[in-house]
Amino acid sequence: MTGDGEIRRGSIYVVDFGTGNDPEDGGRGKKRPVLVVQNDWGNAYADTTIVVPLSSGMPSRSYPFQVELPPEILGKPGIIMCEQIWTVSLRRIDPQRLGECPSWLMDQVDEALRHSLGLSAETGQRYLS
């Protein structure tokens, strides 16, 4: 749980994925920044939330399921990796919020999530042929 007791969509936190030996952490085994993408109603009532990880590594090419994180959000550029959608326990979230994504950036995240899940017209057509 966070310091103010409230996880919000668009907020950035650090999640502790443990040692890497726990089946729940999928072998990730480290602390990493994540963006909360679950809706605020779910965040208010659930013991878990849905997140996507952030990376400081810049890919060699652009992908429709990734969004560039501007350096002014966390002090350095990064990538929001919407192809890796995780459900995590609130107990794994560090209470110190690192940052907040503005609505224009969350609009890009929404589109990247649609691509990742095959919900956009473009990806939907690709799977229909």
What residues contact residue 72 under an 8 Å CB cut-off, 6+ apart? none
Q: What span, in angstroms and rounded, lies between the C-alpha atoms of 42 and 125? A: 30
Q: In the prediction, which pLDDT does 58 show?
A: 83
- Taking the model in full, what pTM does it have? 0.84
Which tokens sit at 58? Answer: 């810049």
When pLDDT is averaged across residues 98-126 and rounded to a whole number, the result is 87
Contact by Cβ (8 Å): 28, 22? no
pLDDT at 2 over 70: no
Domains of the chain listed by start with CATH number: 11-128 (2.30.30.110)
pLDDT at 53 over 80: yes
Q: Which residue has the higher pLDDT, 106 or 60?
A: 106
Contact by Cβ (8 Å): 18, 103? no
